[in-house]
Amino acid sequence: MLRLWKLRKGVVAALLLLFGTALALAEGPQATPSIYAPASTPAAQIQSLSYFVLEITGAIFLVVGGLMAFVCFRYRAGKNDDKSEPAQIYGSTQVELAWTVIPVLIVVVLFLTTARMIFAIQDAPKPKEAVDVTVVGHQFWWEYRYPQLGIVTANELHIPLSSKTDPKPTYFKLLSADVDHSYWVPQLSGKTDLIPNHPNELWMDPLYPGLYKGQCAQFCGAEHALMLLRVYVDTPEQFQAWVANQQKPGVQDPTVAAGRQVFETQACMNCHAVAGTAATGRYGPDLTHLASRDTLASGVIENNPKNLRQWIKDPDSIKPGALMPAMKLSDEQLDQLTAYLATLK
């Protein structure tokens, strides 16, 4: 069985290599979020089901495709054909019955296998130790809430590592604030849509730590393409530390009071929240621990002071169609704001 599995893996690897995406089958997080590098039970189950289906369809392809090639070569009219008509055959009940019954049997096998997997993944019982996360899709960013932990954050999801012996799966509740979106981290699970008025569920139990990438998979408007997704799978210690930090209110650093004032007097606070301040806006991402995130604008640019400044000055230049307006601020205000936001660790 193991050998067979390695063989399948080898075939897929060879096919991918042929076209130059060699890494796609390694274990753990990949820059290329291949569905053939699963790192979580649902994704791995889908992979094994897909191998089974590929074998059956591959066999059909070889038999029928081979037959087609044979017929085309064997029965093509030669150059000096005598123009007589070949024998006319109008049908044959036995043969036709055979090629109806065989596909029926194949369908039965395929269906039963698939149905088992549907129930295994979709109706898997939720263990007590599961972590709950509520994801809210927005044009064009992600909001994450941890109801058990009292955390609200955006765009970069942190979840704990799971393992077969010490399972700690994450269970998602998927909501949408505006239009349809779809949550897809190919290495961790299949996608599920976020639909307004229609809560959905999804689970994953990541088996290797690191950063997993994905992106919105349902066309959601102008910036659908840059609605990127980053999932950090933390070891238990990392996760504890991260949670502890996120639960603290926003840092109050007197040296950047000017920037904070800009934030609270300009329109920023209408849309953004910083815990522990007057800013409680919910339209845009929560900024309480903005500086602890690696990226801005749902993964589009690195989080550094220069990019941050450019983003506030003109979001459209980074993410055309983004729904944050360009704030008409002076250079001085921009500097103060950037300094303030950089303290929100």
Partner 1 sequence: MADSTLPIQGALDITPPAARKHSILEIAHSWITTVDHKKLGILYTVFGIFWLLVGGAEAIAIRIQLAMPNNHFLSPQTYNQFFTMHGTTMVFLVGMTIIFGFANYLVPLMIGARDMAFPRLNAFSFWVTAFGGTLLYYSFLGGSGLYGVGSAPDVGWFAYAPLTARAFSPGHATDYWAISLIVSGIGTVGTAINIVATTVSMRCKGMTLMRMPLFVWLFFVVSALTLITITPLTAAQIMLTIDRYLGGHFFDTQAGGSAVAWMHFFWIFGHPEVYVLILPAFAIANEIIPVFSRKAIFGYPAMAAASVGIAFVSLGVWAHHMFTVGMTSVSNAFFTLSTMLVGIPTGIKIFNWLATMWGGKIRFATPMLFLTAFLFQFLIAGLTGIMLSVSPWDWQLHNSYFVIAHFHYVLVGALVFAIFGGLYYWFPKATGKMLSEKIGKWHFWLFIIGFHLTFDTMHVPGILGMPRSIYTYEPDRGWGPWNLVVSIGGIIQGIATLVFAYNMIVSLRKGEEAGPDPWDAWTLEWTTSSPPPDYNFAIDPVVGSRRPLWDLKHPEDPDWKYEA
Which residues in 8-67 contact partner 1 (CB under 8 A)? 16, 19-21, 23-24, 31-36, 42-43, 45-46, 49-50, 53-54, 57, 60-61, 64-65, 67
Among Cu ion, partner 1, none, residue 181 binds (CB under 5-8 Å by kind): Cu ion
Nearest to 259 by CA among 325, 309, 310: 309
User: Is the CA virtual torsion 177, 344, 332, 266 positive or negative?
Assistant: positive
39 makes contact with Cu ion (CB under 5 A): no
Burial of 6 (0-12, 13-18, 19+ CB in 10 A): exposed
Write down the least CB distance from residue 137 to partner 1, Å: 12
Nearest to 220 by CA among 67, 323, 102: 323
Tell me the C-alpha distance between 197 and 282, whole Å. 18
103 makes contact with partner 1 (CB under 8 A): yes
Tell me the C-alpha distance between 294 and 154, whole Å. 12
Stretch that binds partner 1, among 89-97, 147-155, 233-241, 327-335 (CB under 8 A): 89-97
Question: What's the token pair of residue 88?
Answer: 């006319």
Contact 290, 341 (CB under 8 A): yes
Among partner 1, Cu ion, none, residue 191 binds (CB under 5-8 Å by kind): partner 1
Among Cu ion, partner 1, none, residue 72 binds (CB under 5-8 Å by kind): partner 1
319 makes contact with Cu ion (CB under 5 A): no
What is the x/- site pattern for Cu ion, positions 219-248, by CB under 5 A?
-x------x---------------------
Interacting positions 275-304 with partner 1 (CB under 8 A):
none
Stretch that binds partner 1, among 92-100, 130-138, 238-246, 276-284 (CB under 8 A): 92-100
Interacting positions 113-132 with partner 1 (CB under 8 A):
114-115, 117-119, 121-123
| Shorter beta-carbon distance to Cu ion: residue 192 or 246 | 192
Tell me the C-alpha distance between 321 and 312, whole Å. 14
What is the x/- site pattern for partner 1, positions 157-196, by CB under 8 A?
-----------------x---xxx-x-x-x--xxxxx-xx
Interacting positions 304-323 with partner 1 (CB under 8 A):
320-321
Question: Which DSSP state fits 320?
Answer: T
User: What angle, 0 to 180 degrees and rounded to 10, lies between the N-to-C axes of helices 331-342 and 257-265?
Assistant: 110
81 makes contact with partner 1 (CB under 8 A): yes
Q: Does a cis peptide bond (omega within 30 degrees of 0) precede residue 73?
A: no
134: part of which helix (H) or strand (E)?
A: strand 131-138
Q: Which of 17, 26, 71, 267 binds partner 1 (CB under 8 A)?
A: 71
The Cβ of residue 102 has, within 10 Å, a number of other Cβ atoms equal to 11
Q: Which of 145, 181, 260, 309 binds Cu ion (CB under 5 A)?
A: 181
| Shorter beta-carbon distance to Cu ion: residue 138 or 289 | 138
Interacting positions 215-274 with partner 1 (CB under 8 A):
215-226, 228
Q: Which of 91, 164, 254, 330 binds partner 1 (CB under 8 A)?
A: 91
| Shorter beta-carbon distance to partner 1: residue 7 or 67 | 67
Question: What's the token pair of residue 290?
Answer: 């903005």
The site for partner 1, by CB under 8 A, has a size of 94
| Shorter beta-carbon distance to Cu ion: residue 180 or 335 | 180
Q: How far is CA 80 from CA 83, 89, 124, 134, in A?
A: 9, 24, 67, 73
Angle at 314 between CA 311 and CA 315, to 5 degrees: 55
Tell me the C-alpha distance between 275 and 297, whole Å. 20
Strands 141-146 and 151-154: antiparallel
Question: Which DSSP state fits 211?
Answer: E
Binding site for Cu ion (CB under 5 A): 181, 216, 220, 227
